[in-house]
Amino acid sequence: MSQPSSATLEKITALCKRRGFVYQSSEIYGGLNGVYDFGPLGSLMKQNIRSAWSQAMMKANDAIVFMDGSILGSYDTWKASGHIDNFSDPMVDCLNCKKRYRTDEIDLERACPHCGKKAWTEARMFNMMFQTQMGPLADPTAMAYLRPETAQAIFINFKNVISTSRVKIPFGIAQIGKAFRNEITPKQFLFRMREFEQMEMEWFCKDAQAMEYFKFWADARKAFYQTIGLDPARIRLREHAPDERAHYSTACIDVEYQFPFGWKEIEGIAHRGTFDLTQHSKHSGKDLNVFDEETKSSYTPTVIECSVGVDRLFLTLLFDAYHEDIIEGEERVVLRLNPRIAPIKAAFMPLTKKQVDPLYQIYARIRAAGFMVQFDESGSIGKRYRRQDEIGTPFCFTYDFESEKDNTVTVRHRDSTKQERINIDDIQQFLEKITHE
């Protein structure tokens, strides 16, 4: 088993704000609840997460194509998907103070926690989709929705993709993009947000092979988290009990991570049967079947879905990487992020003013080669190491009086704090090897 984590939600949240990973959105105006902006380090790290996922999808199977659907969607799409009718939470209002609660977060036998009176309305359903009006006329036909999940863009484009991309069953469509849910009570920082980002892949196959693929993807997706550095002892697969699953779903597995506050889902792998394509075919009147050359008959493909939230994974990676240890008698916070995920790959630190120029030239060359690196010249060397440790920078390069003689620099490793000499001409290759999988 793993060591108990020293990470807490408070520490992670504070670090994110202090070092420019994440800010609350519209903060100077009091903030938007459940909505966040990603700062310089956060946006780089998010991009590394997206890129690791895309690369993993690309390598898992060369029959996976990508797409990028719109956020705005029509009433018909969300009617067919079931979201108009079912994507709701039951709510009650306090008749006295008008405060609104989800029924599952409040004991209706007791008084309102806000005003202390006990006077509840009947429970009513509250749809969690964000609505807006499209076009100049405020009539019902102009109603549009911010997508509450990215998957439906894949299903409604299934026929478009298959008829324009030369893919054949079995194949997958992968997508990364924002989704929106009007949560009543967004909570735990990036864990449950109103505006978030999903990475979803829908795998279309014959029904006879669906369970085999379901198992393949559950294992492949679990393995992915190790390749991006999560502690394998904190990752598990948990199969849903039949009463946890949607009525159309044959099987569902969560990839869970052990947070200090318990095991929580970070990805869902779902056998969705033919539900989605059947619904869209029914509502649109379009034939979404494929023709089987072998049996000379047409059929609706079965879907296996892999769905993960970028922001929740971002938070998970920070929880997993966060460590406090003692280095040379001094306490430090260190993010032991995998080098592929770390926002800054290396810092270049001159020890004296004289070394600024030669080291800057090395730094500039590495940056021009496309590596996100920093030049850090202010404060004591110890202070600079702490600064880079706290944001997860895997390597620090220092140039010293020997460097001019033997064309080497010192590289200091974040986790072990060990140092070694490396030839200046080998720095780029060193970083390439360690930051690419």
For a copy of itself, the binding residues in 375-394 under the rule CB under 8 A are 375, 378
192 binds a copy of itself (CB under 8 A): no
Which three-class secondary structure state does DSSP give residue 51? helix
Among 368, 405, 416, 418, binds a copy of itself (CB under 8 A): 368
DSSP letter at 197? E
Which three-class secondary structure state does DSSP give residue 330? strand
**314-353: which residues touch a copy of itself (CB under 8 A)?**
none
CB of 37 to a copy of itself, least distance (A): 4
184 binds a copy of itself (CB under 8 A): yes
* Distance between CA atoms of residues 222 and 239, nearest Å: 13
Q: Which is nearer to a copy of itself, 251 or 290 (CB)?
A: 290
Sheet of 251-259, strand order = 171-180, 195-205, 302-309, 262-273, 251-259, 235-239
In this chain, which stretch among 114-122, 128-136, 218-226, 252-260 interacts with a copy of itself, using CB under 8 A? 128-136
Cα Rg of the chain, angstroms = 25
Q: For residue 265, what are its two tokens?
A: 């889902």
CB of 36 to a copy of itself, least distance (A): 7
Q: Which is nearer to a copy of itself, 254 or 311 (CB)?
A: 311
Neighbours of 261 (CB within 10 A): 11
8 binds a copy of itself (CB under 8 A): no
Among 13, 46, 198, 270, binds a copy of itself (CB under 8 A): 46
CB of 388 to a copy of itself, least distance (A): 11
**264-283: which residues touch a copy of itself (CB under 8 A)?**
280, 283
CB of 376 to a copy of itself, least distance (A): 8
In this chain, which stretch among 22-30, 248-256, 393-401, 411-419 interacts with a copy of itself, using CB under 8 A? 22-30
Among 97, 134, 233, 327, binds a copy of itself (CB under 8 A): 134
E-assigned strands of 231-361? 235-239, 251-259, 262-273, 290-292, 297-299, 302-309, 322-327, 330-335, 346-350
**143-172: which residues touch a copy of itself (CB under 8 A)?**
144, 146, 153, 156-157, 159-161, 164-166
Torsion of CA 60, 178, 344, 434, to 10 degrees: 0
Among 5, 9, 25, 106, binds a copy of itself (CB under 8 A): 25
> Could you tell me if 407 and 424 are in contact, meaning their C-beta atoms sit under 8 angstroms apart?
yes
Among 3, 4, 28, 328, binds a copy of itself (CB under 8 A): 28
Neighbours of 339 (CB within 10 A): 20
Task: Give the residue among 169, 172, 177 at the shortest CA–CA distance from 199.
Answer: 177
* Distance between CA atoms of residues 184 and 91, nearest Å: 9
Among 247, 294, 370, 405, binds a copy of itself (CB under 8 A): 370
Q: Which is nearer to a copy of itself, 186 or 394 (CB)?
A: 186
Among 9, 71, 381, 422, binds a copy of itself (CB under 8 A): 71
30 binds a copy of itself (CB under 8 A): yes
**73-92: which residues touch a copy of itself (CB under 8 A)?**
73-74, 76-77, 91
Q: Which stretches of 69-203 are DSSP H helices?
A: 75-81, 83-86, 151-156, 158-164
Size of residue set near a copy of itself by CB under 8 A = 84
* Distance between CA atoms of residues 311 and 225, nearest Å: 15
**282-321: which residues touch a copy of itself (CB under 8 A)?**
283-284, 286
Task: Give the residue among 224, 177, 172 at the shortest CA–CA distance from 66.
Answer: 172
> Could you tell me if 53 and 66 are in contact, meaning their C-beta atoms sit under 8 angstroms apart?
no
122 binds a copy of itself (CB under 8 A): no
> Could you tell me if 222 and 235 are in contact, meaning their C-beta atoms sit under 8 angstroms apart?
yes
* Distance between CA atoms of residues 297 and 396, nearest Å: 62
CB of 68 to a copy of itself, least distance (A): 4
55 binds a copy of itself (CB under 8 A): yes
Cis amide prior to 343 (ω within 30 degrees): no
CB of 256 to a copy of itself, least distance (A): 27
